[in-house]
Structure 1
């Protein structure tokens, strides 16, 4: 906070109501006025700037610097990661590797419950970790439809499955972004990553059971129970280990890969007694050699290896002050203010993904460097609006933090006292419903959660984690997710129908997160 007081009206209720204007306006823009996200974000940035300068008395130099700082961090490292991750995926598709990869998954079993576990859950989680931003829902829904699933059912199942992986999308950005927010209580992305081990495993372990129940009831669960247990246990346990010791970056990628591998190996010695087919018709499977399958997966295990190396403490130490590669980190003050920013040219996770892209290009005969660069240009042109929106939302978050708006809201919501942890996940749920992104939700509300926690005497890390977990449950019904899902399965115009199919699961999972967060708050 860079102002003398977070209560410029000398009335906390009035100050907090004014501080809530950016959030309420964002909600109105996206729901009542049905504005596009980018326009809503830019309008709210302008409004927040005026409120910070003229009502909360943040000096104009500091206000401009706040927006600049948010913009820099939106482009680097966040935008950098997004572009690199999607570029790697596009290289895989254009080179033909993705078709082989897809066939290698769908050819493991003809039982469509098993296919749902492999594609709807495991591969969905893998793509969420590798690319995020709607890619897993779109791709996995299309794959399920190609295997005989009803289009809307496929979309619904993929949306629900995403509840197990949405917290760590696009190489962990929703959690990693917390390090850019300077949260109260010194909450870091690693703190939150470790705290998720107390909340998300219960949901992750349950989701595979829920998917099979929706598809084939208790009978289906009974018939493929061993397969469900292999997937649920492998994914959940692996993710706990990674979030505790490595951080958020690989918390989807490695568990998803291991889950697919574990299930594929298990199916060599076990088969369900009855092959379940939705329409009593087997789909044609294209078989590939083991060598072709290994090559097809190469972009993604390269991604895993490079990101893993970048996540190791010994590697990170090289870029700390006094480290051998500290000179690669550009730190600079923002003119006209007390604020500063930095750009990590080598240690950024995006650089690890860039190396995976370059190695894939150089070792793949079916795609040239020129074609790959053209794909990079297309990726930038497709995602620049999303990145601008992220920059705008980060600018809003910085203004709200430095001008004291976050403190005012935190003081106000803290009036709910010990009941606040029960409602905490709802803020995250609202944020994702508004923006369609756990990244944006954490950017908007993590500061409020941390500030309120310090006021009511609750663990700040727990409430920031609750914001993340609650937000993930809104991805099931956020307008952005619904639009992507319906478009992918050629069901545009049936958004309301799909929303009705998923809303009960979104609300039910949110209720669990609320109750569990409240219980944890009593002990942490």
Structure 2
């Protein structure tokens, strides 16, 4: 017996929308007004959504329970797997004392908190988003800023907001790949259209971030550095997305922005170093210096991380790893048990890609890093156990959030909300980004939001005479500003910033900025649809008979051998440095 999804269960779309919005509105109320802990708000939201799914939408109890279980399991793997490994890697650098050297390096570039935030939260976070994605950038950069002495709330909030610019091209361009597969529009025109929207946000975002941190007047004091950071990032993002493709804009823009700002700061410094209120003055000790070898050793975990996540993003390596370590199964009782509104059965296949998962790449980087930073594997095991204890409540929160996301999607609640936005007529381009924003808020992933709504965006745009690439790209772009308030992202940032139980504060910190940026993207999309149509790329729709190449396993093995040699060389170099030089800093007379 198949259960059929419905969009208008009350036969009155206005009433159906009001009911469908209740679980979403509850999360806003619980976190902003009631100030609940994240896992409490998520569990209650699940209960509300389940009642609506069963009593209003007619979803069988068994399917509702299985849907929640499916989402919770996905929350544990691969999401929690990635978060645990990201925090574990950072904790290793702290336990070994190497993070003190990193802090010294950052202070040698600048002790100014405004500029440190740009380097780490904006530029380095964008680079990590391009390689790993799925929560790793926020987890790592928030932990780094807290380690540097940032207020945990500011560190986590800033990293969430900074993560908006690169999300569309995250994980080697996966969000755009999915949007292309679902909509039938080739990847390149979607990449080009997104690359003609987000660079505007990328120019604004650094100044916006610094204003949040220090206020408008203090932000103006570092305007030259802010412009270098934002303009360089926007240029590389535009260039790579329009002429190379969706896989590398974050990597290229992140690195380009880091290098541009570091070079600029060699020739320009702010008149006064800004720190947080009640924070001690900068204590950069010029009598302490570190050799190049010591600096290399301190940064080696993040070098290994970069190598691993880039390698894991290569399709030939993914193919090999999936051929060796992929277990998948049809979710019992749920697979093909729900019929979508388009008449197709919804497949529910759970994939445990335990080798190709990004979390596994970070685990390998961590295992390689343990001897490089001077720890024993016994000490590394103790750090891992402490990390699990540190993340026990965030793990519960993430599992609950994904359970909520799955029940609202499978029951049709999300489709009800989307249907109303899709029936706004000629104003639809303005509302198109809101669909992406809603999808990311619910699922925590721009990739998932594109899978949900790209087809709807395409069909609606065609019906009103707007080029579909505008609205499909708007789904991608609108989703990026939903990331900062997604309960899943909030839980990850809270875990990294040691704010477990304070998710409501973090949500209230980011929510207004999400709405402000969403409004900007809505206006840009509306203008692209009707005023600046010359910005729309020319393209042909993908052929349904498109032939896909088979996996190149031989090349994958070659890449893996090269990766192993590179990691061994890095490990040998670091260990050799460790034998030659003691890790205590040398004093300069």
Partner of 2:551: none
Unaligned runs of 5+ in 1: 146-150, 320-324
Distance in 2 of aligned mates of 1:142 and 1:303: 18
Counterpart Cα distance in 1 of 2:355 and 2:493:
36
What's the CA shift string for 1:235-282, capped at 9, x where partnerless?
A: 33445567676867x8666644553344334555x345x743459987
Map of 2:257 onto structure 1: 259
Question: Following TM superposition, by how much is the alpha carbon of 1:415 offset from its aligned partner in structure 2, in angstroms?
Answer: 2.6
> 2: distance between equivalents of 1:75 and 1:219?
42
2:7 maps to: 6
Aligned to 1:371: 379
* Conserved? CA contact 2:83–2:492, under 8 Å: no
Aligned mates of 1:231, 1:139 — CA distance in 2: 19
Mapped pair 1:344 → 2:353: yes
Shift of 1:207: 3.1
For 2:479, the equivalent position in structure 1 comes to: 468
Deviates more, 1:325-334 or 1:449-458: 449-458
1:23 paired to 2:32: no
Report which stretch shifted further, 18-27 or 349-358.
18-27
CA–CA separation in structure 1 for the residues paired with 2:190 and 2:383: 35
Contact 2:162 2:205 in 1 (8 A): yes
- Aligned residue for 1:66, secondary structure, equals helix
Q: Does the residue aligned with 1:341 lie in a helix, a strand or coil? A: strand
Residue 83 (structure 1) shift: 0.8
1:148 equivalent in structure 2: none
The corresponding residue for 2:309 is: 307
User: Structure 2 CA distance, aligned partners of 1:46 and 1:216?
Assistant: 41
- SS of match in other structure, 2:391: helix
Aligned ranges for residues 66-77 of structure 1 at < 5 Å? Answer: 66-77=67-78
Tell me the CA shift for residue 393 of structure 1. Answer: 2.6
Q: Give 1:329's aligned residue.
A: 326
Answer whether contact 1:235 1:258 (CA < 8 A) is retained: yes
In 2: Cα distance, 1:22 partner to 1:217 partner: 36
Contact 2:482–2:514 (8 Å) recurs in 1 = no
Question: Following superposition of structure 1 onto structure 2, how do residues 276-287 of structure 1 map, counting pairs within 5 Å?
Answer: 276-278=272-274, 283-285=283-285, 286-287=288-289
Among 492, 497, 518, the residue aligned to 2:526: 518
1:401/1:223 Cα in 2 relative to 1: closer, same or farther (>3 Å)?
closer
CA distance in 2, matches of 1:233, 1:326: 42
Which stretch of structure 1 is more off in the superposition, 19-28 or 438-447? 438-447
The two structures have a TM-score, normalised by structure 1, of 0.75
Deviation track 1:187-241 (CA, whole Å, cap 9, x = no partner) reads: 999998776433322222233445677869799869873x545433443344556
Q: 1:52-63 maps to which residues of 2 (within 5 A)?
A: 52-63=53-64
Question: What residue is the counterpart of 2:394 in the other structure?
Answer: 386
2:76 counterpart of 1:79: no
> Which of 402, 405, 408 in structure 1 is aligned with 2:413?
405
User: What's the CA shift for 1:471?
Assistant: 2.1
Q: CA deviation at 1:359?
A: 0.6
Contact 2:172 2:313 (8 Å CA) reproduced: no
Per mean C-alpha deviation after superposition, the further-off stretch among 333-342 and 252-261 is 252-261
Shift of 1:515: 1.1
CA contact (8 A) 1:473 1:510 kept: no
Structure 1's 174 and 58: CA in aligned 2 closer, same or farther, altered over 3 A? Answer: farther
How many pairs align?
A: 494
In 1, are the aligned partners of 2:436 and 2:474 still within 8 Å (CA)? Answer: no
Deviation at 1:468, TM superposition (A): 2.1
Task: Answer yes or no: is the 8 Å Cα contact 1:19–1:408 preserved in 2.
Answer: yes
CA distance in 2, matches of 1:182, 1:52: 30
Matches for 1:483-494 after TM superposition, within 5 Å: none
Root-mean-square deviation over aligned CA pairs: 4.7
Structure 1 pair 328/508, CA: closer, same or farther in 2 (3 Å)? closer
Gaps of 5+ in 2: 337-347, 462-467, 537-589
User: How big is the shift at 1:375?
Assistant: 1.8
Deviation at 1:110, TM superposition (A): 6.5
Among 163, 176, 179, which residue is 1:165 paired with? 163
Q: Is the 8 A contact 1:235 1:256 kept in 2?
A: yes
CA-CA distance at 1:173 after TM superposition: 7.5
* Residues in 1 aligned to 2:66 and 2:296: alpha-carbon distance in whole angstroms: 48
Deviation at 1:309, TM superposition (A): 0.8
Number of the residue aligned with 1:322: none
TM-score, normalised to structure 2's length? 0.68
Distance 2:76 2:155 in 1: 33
